[in-house]
Amino acid sequence: MGGGTEAFPDLGDHCQHDDCHQFDFLPFTCEACGKIFCLEHRTYRAHGCPSADRGSRTVAVCQICSATVEKEEGEDDESAVSRHERSGGCDASRKRKLRCPVPRCKEVLTFSNCTSCKVCGLKVCLKHRFSSDHACRMTRRPPAAAAAAAAAAMKRSGVECREKKEKPGVVSQLPSPPIKGY
pLDDT digits (tens, 9 = 90+) for 57-108: 788 888 888 788 888 877 888 898 888 888 887 877 777 678 888 888 888 8
- Provide the pLDDT for residue 35: 93
Q: 46: buried, middle or exposed (CB in 10 Å: 19+, 13-18, 0-12)?
A: middle
User: What does the angle CA 82 – CA 70 – CA 42 come to, to the nearest 5 degrees?
Assistant: 155
What is the phi-psi region of residue 88: left when phi exceeds 0, alpha when psi lies from -120 to 50, beta otherwise? left
* pTM (global) more than 0.75: no
Mean pLDDT of 167-178: 58
- Provide the pLDDT for residue 175: 63
Band the pLDDT of 141: cuts 50, 70, 90.
very low
- Provide the pLDDT for residue 122: 86
What is the phi-psi region of residue 117: left when phi exceeds 0, alpha when psi lies from -120 to 50, beta otherwise? beta
Band the pLDDT of 29: cuts 50, 70, 90.
very high
Q: 22: buried, middle or exposed (CB in 10 Å: 19+, 13-18, 0-12)?
A: middle
What are the strands, taking DSSP E only, across the chain?
Answer: 13-14, 23-24, 28-29, 36-37, 59-61, 68-70, 114-116, 123-125
Decide: 23 and 11 in contact? Cβ < 8 Å. no
Answer with the residue of higher pLDDT: 144 or 55.
55
Decide: 136 and 122 in contact? Cβ < 8 Å. yes
Mention every residue, 6+ apart, whose C-beta is less than 8 A from residue 160: 154
Calpha distance 100→108 (Å, rounded): 6
Go through the domains of the chain in sequence order and give each one's CATH number: 1-54 (4.10.1110.10), 59-94 (no CATH), 97-154 (no CATH)
Residue 59 is inside which H or E element, if any? Answer: strand 59-61
Answer with the residue of higher pLDDT: 138 or 92.
92
